[in-house]
C-alpha cells in the first residue's frame, strides 16, 4: 500500500502534462474565458481561475505568504478534500513515510485514521509506548499536547506524535463509555515491530499473532506453520489491532491457506489500476482448521485476509466488526523531496463486496473482555474425599503445580490467560469443534 517503488512508474509523463498545462495557462492567462464546451477549454478556464485567485491571495493576504507557501497550502487543501487518506507530503512528511518503510522509527506506536472527520486510533502496536500506556482502538485523539486535532490532517498529526526517542508527549483522548476526556502522558521510543510470533494452546492448537503486514510476514507465518504443523490440529490467526501494511503480504498470507480463487481485486477510475490477485495451488501449505480473530483495530490488509478467508469458506472469523479501510493509496513523487499520496482504487473481496466504510462482520460476534467464572466453593470433588484414590502424580512424589510451570513458559497460552481474553477463548472452543468435525 505504501509502496514507493510502485509509484515511480508514470511519474515522468505526469510531470510533462503538468508542465504543458502550466505553459498553456501562462500563455493564455490574460485571455477572457471562452464559451467553448470542450473538455480542454473547461480545464483551461479552471486553471485560469486558480491562477487568478492565487495572484490575489499573494498580493493582498494579511500574512504576506510567499508563492511557494501558497502553492503548498493549495496542494494540501486539494488532496485533503478528496478523501481521508489522500495528502500532499512536504519534505518532512515524505522523509517520515520513508523511515516508516524501513521498519524502525521514533514515536508512540499507534496507527491513526479519519473516522467521521475525527482523528481516530485504528490500533496501538503491541508492546509500544502507546500500547503500554493504555491507548485503545477506537479512541479519538482530541489534542496532541496543547494542539487541537480539529481540521488537522493525518500527516500533520503523525508528524506531531513522532519525535526524538525518550521525549514526552501528552494526548487527550475521547473514549466511548468514558464520562470525560482522558489524558495520557507518554514517552516516545524507537518503534521496532515484531510482526509475527507464535504460541501453543492446549498442546495441539497453533496460535499465530500478526501485528502488522511488513515485508516478511508471509515468510514468517509459512515458517511457523511448517515448524508446528505436524503437532497441531488447528490454527488460530490473530489479526486484532493489526492496522495493515503491504498488499502483497496480505495476498501471500491468504494463499498459505487456500489453493484457488480470487483473493482480492482492486478497481479504480482507470482500467490500468484494475488488478485481480488470485491464489496459486503451489503456495498453499495447510488444510488445518482455521479461526481468524479480528476487532475494530483490524484494518486494510488484515481486513483483506480475514474477508477473503471468510468469503472462500476457509476460516471462521470471530470477534468484532473491523475498521473498514478498503481503499488503495499510491505515493507519487513530484520532486526529489516531495510527493503526493493519492487514493486510486477500492478493494473488493472474492464475493465482490467492498471493505470501504463497511468492514468485515465476523461470522461469530464476540465483544472483548474477560471470561466470567462462577466457581461454586461448596462443590465436592473426588480429591476432597478422605479415602480418595491417589493420582499417578501423587504416587510419583507429589502434585505438579502446572500453573507455576506455565507462568514461566513464553511458548504457550495458559488457561488463566484465556480467561482474560474471551474472544480468544471463543476461538479456541470453535477450533476444538472444527477439529472434532474433521475427525482429528
| Cα–Cα dist 279/157, whole Å | 38
Q: What does the pLDDT look like over 113-168, one tens digit per residue? A: 888 889 999 888 888 999 999 999 899 999 999 999 998 888 789 889 988 899 99
Cell numbers describing residue 261: 480463487
Q: Give me the percent of the chain exceeding a pLDDT of 70.
A: 81
Predicted confidence (pLDDT) at residue 285 exceeds the cutoff of 50:
yes
As a whole number, the mean pLDDT across the chain is 84
pLDDT higher than 50, residue 4: no
Is the per-residue pLDDT at 75 higher than 50?
Answer: yes
Residue that is written with C-alpha cell 502522558 in the block = 185
For the domain covering 196-365, report its CATH number: 3.90.226.10
Residue pLDDT, tens place only, 233-274: 999 999 999 989 889 999 999 999 999 999 999 999 888 889
Question: Could you read off the pLDDT of 321-348 as tens digits, one per residue?
Answer: 999 999 988 889 999 999 999 999 999 9
Q: How far from the centroid of its chain's Cα atoms is residue 318's Cα?
A: 17
Residue 41: per-residue pLDDT? 86
Q: In degrees, to the nearest 5, what angle opens at C-alpha 113 toward C-alphas 107 and 114? A: 135
Name which of 115-119, 182-186, 198-202, 318-322 the model is least confident about.
115-119
In this prediction the pTM is 0.73
Indicate the length of the chain as a whole number. 440
pLDDT per position as a tens digit, 347-399: 999 999 999 989 999 999 999 988 877 655 556 565 555 555 555 544 544 44
Cα-trace Rg, the chain:
27
- Just give the CATH number of 94-192: 2.30.42.10
Q: Write down the domain spans for the chain.
A: 4-27+38-65, 94-192, 196-365
The two domains 94-192 and 196-365 share their CATH topology (first three levels equal)? no
Distance CA 278, CA 255 (A): 8
Q: How far is CA 26 from CA 41, 237, 309, in A?
A: 14, 58, 54
Taking only the tens place, the pLDDT of each residue in 83-119 is 888 999 988 888 777 765 555 567 899 988 888 889 9
Per-residue pLDDT band for 409 (boundaries 50, 70, 90) equals low
CA pair distance 324, 306, nearest whole angstrom: 12
Residue 26: pLDDT band (50, 70, 90) is very low
Residue 101 vs residue 43, higher pLDDT = 43
Residues 6+ positions from 437 with CB-CB distance below 8 Å: none
Looking at the annotation, which residues are catalytic? 300, 311, 325
Amino acid at each position: 500500500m505504501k509502496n514507493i517503488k510502485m509509484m515511480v512508474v508514470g511519474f515522468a509523463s505526469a510531470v510533462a502534462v503538468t508542465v504543458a498545462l502550466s505553459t498553456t495557462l501562462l500563455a493564455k492567462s490574460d485571455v477572457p474565458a471562452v464559451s467553448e464546451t470542450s473538455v480542454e477549454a473547461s480545464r483551461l478556464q479552471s486553471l485560469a481561475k486558480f491562477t487568478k485567485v492565487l495572484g490575489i491571495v499573494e498580493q493582498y493576504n494579511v500574512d504576506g505568504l510567499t508563492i511557494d507557501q501558497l502553492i503548498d497550502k493549495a496542494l494540501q487543501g486539494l488532496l485533503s478534500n478528496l478523501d481521508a487518506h489522500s495528502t500532499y507530503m512536504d519534505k518532512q512528511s515524505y522523509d517520515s513515510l520513508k523511515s516508516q518503510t524501513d521498519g524502525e522509527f521514533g514515536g508512540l506506536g499507534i496507527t491513526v485514521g479519519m473516522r467521521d472527520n475525527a482523528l481516530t486510533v485504528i490500533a496501538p502496536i503491541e508492546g509500544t509506548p502507546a500500547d503500554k500506556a493504555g491507548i485503545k482502538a477506537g479512541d479519538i485523539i482530541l489534542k496532541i499536547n496543547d494542539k487541537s486535532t480539529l481540521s488537522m490532517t493525518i500527516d500533520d498529526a503523525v508528524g506531531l506524535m513522532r519525535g526524538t526517542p525518550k521525549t514526552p508527549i501528552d494526548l487527550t483522548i475521547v473514549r466511548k463509555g468514558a464520562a470525560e476526556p482522558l489524558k495520557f502522558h507518554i514517552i516516545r521510543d524507537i518503534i521496532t515491530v515484531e510482526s509475527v510470533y507464535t504460541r501453543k494452546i492446549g498442546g495441539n492448537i497453533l496460535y499465530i499473532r500478526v501485528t502488522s503486514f511488513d515485508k516478511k510476514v508471509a515468510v514468517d507465518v509459512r515458517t511457523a506453520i511448517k515448524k508446528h504443523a505436524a503437532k497441531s490440529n488447528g490454527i488460530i490467526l490473530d489479526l486484532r489491532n493489526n492496522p495493515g501494511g503491504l498488499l502483497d503480504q496480505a495476498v501471500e498470507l491468504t494463499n498459505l491457506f487456500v489453493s484457488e480463487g480470487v483473493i482480492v481485486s482492486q478497481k479504480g477510475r482507470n482500467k490500468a489500476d484494475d488488478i485481480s490477485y488470485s491464489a496459486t495451488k503451489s503456495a498453499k501449505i495447510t488444510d488445518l482448521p482455521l479461526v481468524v480473530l479480528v476487532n475494530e483495530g483490524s484494518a486494510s490488509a488484515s481486513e483483506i485476509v480475514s474477508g477473503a478467508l471468510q468469503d472462500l469458506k476457509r476460516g471462521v472469523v470471530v470477534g468484532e466488526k473491523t475498521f473498514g479501510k478498503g481503499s488503495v493509496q499510491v505515493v507519487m513523487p513530484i520532486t526529489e523531496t516531495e510527493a503526493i499520496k493519492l487514493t486510486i482504487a477500492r478493494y473488493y473481496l472474492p464475493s465482490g463486496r467492498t471493505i470501504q466504510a463497511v468492514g468485515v462482520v465476523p461470522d461469530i460476534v464476540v465483544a472483548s473482555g474477560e471470561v466470567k467464572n462462577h466457581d461454586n466453593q461448596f462443590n465436592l470433588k473426588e480429591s476432597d474425599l478422605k479415602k480418595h484414590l491417589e493420582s499417578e502424580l501423587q504416587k510419583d512424589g507429589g502434585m505438579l503445580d502446572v500453573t507455576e510451570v506455565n507462568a514461566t513458559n513464553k511458548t504457550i497460552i495458559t488457561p488463566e490467560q484465556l480467561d482474560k481474553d474471551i474472544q480468544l477463548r471463543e476461538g479456541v472452543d470453535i477450533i476444538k469443534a472444527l477439529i472434532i468435525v474433521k475427525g482429528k
